[in-house]
A and B are shown apart, each in its own frame.
Chain A
């Protein structure tokens, strides 16, 4: 029953579109990429960047898991191990997962799904990309010059490293890198908010917005409001480190718990910067592959917004054992439980969307269904950690590690992978091999669960996190977890080869291979340099499958805009 992507009815007439200009080929040469203000090209550059970061962070993860296969020294010394897990965390969080969906897929599809030509501030958009590159360079300097081993949280006073054995000057480079990356995040957020407010195509009112847009919009709000706090925190940390001003270091009269408050005031909302875009992608996938509008559209849209707001009120749940007052602990625990409500609303509505749908199990949908399954586990194990008495036992153990990997990988990364599989044909105009995509999916799905399910058990048994060495009793679980990580790694390699083969010699993609009613499938493939030859008028919502005929779904709506092909030349400006 699976609709084979490559075999999806594509008709013969997409060949006729060869004359339509597309954003990939209408300009050539490195300058056309380096100085482009086309959001699609910028999105693609982000995509390659975050994938590179992901590969780097993934190699670090495999090094960590290899070291932990056996107790004692397996591969590296303790200092090296501490640096490797720090880099795994920092690279994955700051260089990969935060920019992954919003900056790469969001940049590419947000304007198209709004039926507009570009983001509100195209030059700012390019600027954001170069700020990201600059931040990455600082981070790489930190990796090369030193031995940063503070963990991605930079907890003081260890990170300040005064009168204790601690991290050296590379902390300054690393925090400077993250500080700069934050500006990229903020500017992208501002850009997207402005675009959603001001650039919607005629007929595209708020209640017709794709849920992808709603998710990215909510994310952008958090990015704009929360990231400055991280910037201030890291700035103070740099000042503390270089000028000894005494904010966080108790030897100088500072307070290390204050750093934790500041840090999580950003980094908890950042969890929603990471997960909301994943949820946003899943909305699109479920709608497309069930051929059905998401059930409770407005509730799902508002749940993203309420997650964004609630996310600001629960940072203290990272600090239940930190020594803050019992009253704070109580309030943060109570508020934390509220987060379960909008998360639950999403899950229930997604499942309800499947009801009476017409469900295809193409590879992107597999990732979406896996997302629901894994995020359910990730979310419910969050309740374990919200319950104060239980959290005291589980805090800072592998249970927490497993929990946030179920949310960040089982959630965001699966959403990201689903999104790439879904939009790859639109972005690059090539199909990939569906059979190998499925093989890769199963490797990734099984490998992921083996890796992290064993960590739940280890954690509840009391294995603390960030341990280089461990008691012999944990060895079987560590072995299982490492084995799972290798399966996961094999899955990613298969996936990578499949995409590379597609890019090089994949079959030409039809404009709408999945039969989606989404707006982004209305344009040609790869998209026109200006997204649409003429500004489209939205006469139906992006999920109104009942208003589309079967022919429209698979043959594509581009027909409507093809007539304008001849008029593109006179409209063409410097892109």
Chain B
């Protein structure tokens, strides 16, 4: 399956959004205007430098004065500048107000991590942004700590993310980022796995694809990998610092080069994948796919207990479950997961005889305060928004701990 990515120019990256051609047209307008002015000024300078170079007998003529000339070159450029302002402002306003039919994606930026929450509360793995093609998307952005800025060069969009307020931007992607759709008759390229109808980069080992977070391989590190477009980068464009001294790695952090330290402004990158509407719909229904390393070759849709357990373990770590729920039977601020599956639960409200089954685990994740296990009133677990498939994976993992 060959895929022809859109090409950029020497000065500008590929155009991947509806506004990109307009922005680029404006860029080249001012570029050629600048070239014309520069050439004219340089030509005049060089000509005068040659013609009036100092040589024996050459005496400067006294400077004359011309109000007409002064007024000409003071006021004529105003017309050009007025046009530039007007055209630039029009283009800007077009990029400010999102169309009515936009879908909303929430962007949460923190040092040095992107998190994207899709309609229906589906939260993708960190540093991974999937958007449907030919569909306006509005991003509602907030920051947990310092200033950040969402910047996608191929879309020509950028907006600061300011703690204490919401900012937004919108775009409509016009091209898929890679050979996305696949089925039995149209397999993916080498190096990709067909998953839920989309091609996802395959990883050789966990180290390749689970740099720190367990998301798919860090393809965003390369725009062009042997002609294969994996993803385009989302940059943080507003300086957001670095970690001092001993890095606190308890939170998730982005470490594309596997240095194991020094998360910083320049590593705050996300992978942007433009996928088909069908692919996006299945993503919304099923949640983010499991890490490719969990998917066996004979089970591409991850239905087996092995695959789900593997995924569940990764998910539990990502979501921070083990900080309260031990997996070895030790008592923590919340009940241990070891041996939990199938056990009878007794609740604070006195109700007993409920078995810890799939329905109970689903409720405990989505509505943790609905029924509190006796003796754990101090545990203040918040609801987690996970897809059914993700919950199935965590359930499989809990089951595996028996």
Residues of A within 8 A of B (CB): 1, 3, 72-73, 77-79, 81-82, 147, 149-151, 155, 157-158, 163-168, 250-251, 254-257, 290-297, 299, 321-323, 326, 329-330, 333-334, 337-338, 340-341, 344-345, 347-349, 351-361, 369, 372-373, 376-377, 380-381, 383-384, 386-393, 395-397, 457, 460-462, 464-473, 543, 545-546
Contact = CB atoms under 8 A, between A and B. Distances in A.
Contacts of B241: 82, 149-150, 158, 164-167
A241 B257 CA distance: 34
B266 A462 contact: no
Contacts of A293: 62-63
A362 to B, nearest CB: 9
Interface string B141-165: 0000111010101101111101111
Contacts of A395: 158, 237
A352 B68 CA distance: 14
Nearest to B235: A464
A387 B85 contact: yes
Contacts of B3: none
Nearest to A372: B45
Nearest to A515: B54
Contact of B13 (A72, A250, A461): A461
Contacts of A388: 88-89, 91-92
A461 B27 CA distance: 12
Interface residues of B, number: 98
B77 A389 contact: no
A396 B45 contact: no
Given A461-B13, A464-B235, 13 more contacts: A250-B165, A257-B162, A295-B63, A321-B159, A323-B167, A333-B92, A341-B81, A369-B45, A384-B34, A461-B12, A462-B153, A469-B257, A471-B233
Contacts of A468: 242, 262, 264-266
Contact of A358 (B19, B42, B60): B60
Nearest to A467: B266
A469 B262 CA distance: 11
A305 to B, nearest CB: 14
A392 B85 contact: no
B240 A358 contact: no
Interface in B83-100: 84-85, 87-96
Nearest to B141: A323
Interface string B330-346: 00000000000000000
Nearest to B8: A461
B158 A392 contact: yes
12 contacts: A165-B243, A256-B147, A290-B60, A291-B54, A326-B93, A345-B73, A351-B44, A357-B52, A357-B61, A386-B88, A387-B84, A464-B237
Given A461-B13, A462-B151, A387 B26 contact: yes
B180 to A, nearest CB: 22
A391 B159 CA distance: 11
Interface stretch (B186-194, B196-204, B217-225, B276-284): B217-225
Give the 9 A-B residue pairs with the shortest CB-CB distance, closest first.
A462-B153, A250-B164, A389-B91, A387-B88, A388-B92, A467-B266, A354-B48, A291-B60, A546-B62
Interface in B249-278: 257, 259, 261-267
B53 A383 contact: no
Nearest to A322: B160
A390 B89 CA distance: 10
B23 interface: yes
Nearest to B155: A393
B38 A333 contact: no
B359 interface: no
Contacts of B94: 389
A338 B81 CA distance: 8
B27 A393 contact: yes
Nearest to B162: A323
A73 B264 contact: no
A386 B160 contact: no
A164 B240 CA distance: 10
A308 B88 CA distance: 25
Contacts of A469: 257, 264, 266-267
B239 interface: yes
Nearest to B90: A389
A78 to B, nearest CB: 4
B62 A545 contact: yes
B56 to A, nearest CB: 9
A338 B85 CA distance: 10
Contacts of B52: 290, 354-359
Contact of A344 (B19, B77, B163, B164): B77
A3 B233 CA distance: 55
A329 B92 contact: yes
A392 B221 contact: no
Given A351-B41, A469-B266, A82 B73 contact: no
Nearest to B22: A389
A252 B238 CA distance: 22
Given A373-B42, A396-B158, A468-B264, A390 B23 contact: yes
